[in-house]
Amino acid sequence: MKLPYYLLDVFTRERLAGNPLAVVLKADGLSDERMQAIAGEFNLSETVFVHAPRNERHAAALRIFTTERELAFAGHPTIGSTVLLGLLHRLSAVRLELGVGLVTAVMERIDRRTGEAKFALPRLPERLAEMPDIAAIAARLGLVESDIGCNGMMPARYSAGSPFYLIPVRDTGALEAIALERRGWSEVFPGDHNAIYVFTATPDERGTDYAARMFGVGTDQGEDPATGSAAAALVGLLVDEGGYGEGQHVIGLRQGHEMGRPSRIDVQFTIAEGALKHAGIGGSAVILAEGVLDLDE
């Protein structure tokens, strides 16, 4: 069995920036165990396996694996797969069957190896838990209590398919100064998926509204250069506590700069009659490499 695969950098138009992604095509003959092993071999935050769709009107069914487990949804695999399939098959609308349901993405070709995609969230974010112990949160980040909070927003747990602890901090100086203290982590951030998404407003940066860092302590990830599912969860906190009023809002979010892999995620959401009615994320992706997996005995 020989399977074609592609490597892409996602949430960027620059090669060797953004968040790397592997996409394996024609994966229908692979068992769950084999897909998990291949994801471990690539050793990236996520690997996508493209299957034939259940509905012939759709472009593909996607299964997304980290090095340890399968995910029902993740942002950068969805963006990267949309761009790849759009470029390969000359599609502008890419309908994808994911674990959370059908996602219809729009793809715009930039050049033969680069595209930009956006899609509506298949599940709107919901608040899961409060986080009142500010002192303990600050200590886990190597910060002081006064560093926690931004523009009236305080820590809380949200999910738009994948749960995240969202931690607003005072400014970009606090964001850059984070030094994780792993002792006591599971007590402050309980749960099987206790990744944290630390963010702050960037009023002095042109074209960027927020900067963020994602840490997967307690999961199979370290720091992640671009996390679409966390940006999707962040929409919930922005709507609840960010001071946004009625209408459509578009924000730009940067991530990965502290890792040397700068990324850009675009988020849009609509508030009507005081409630979140629509949300979506978007970004670019560029093909870096392609090859063939040789799985013949």
Q: Looking at the annotation, which residues are catalytic? A: 46
**Dihedrals φ, ψ of 39, to 5°?**
-60, -40
Q: Quote the CA–CA distance of 201 and 283 in Å, as a whole number.
A: 19
Beta bridge partners of 50: 62
Main-chain phi, psi angles of 173, to 5 degrees = -65, -45
Q: Which of 188, 149, 143 is nearest to 165 (CA)?
A: 188
- The C-alpha atoms of residue 136 and residue 97 are separated, in whole angstroms, by 40
Strand partners, 65: 47, 70
List the beta strands (DSSP E) in 72-155. 93-98, 101-111, 114-120, 126-130
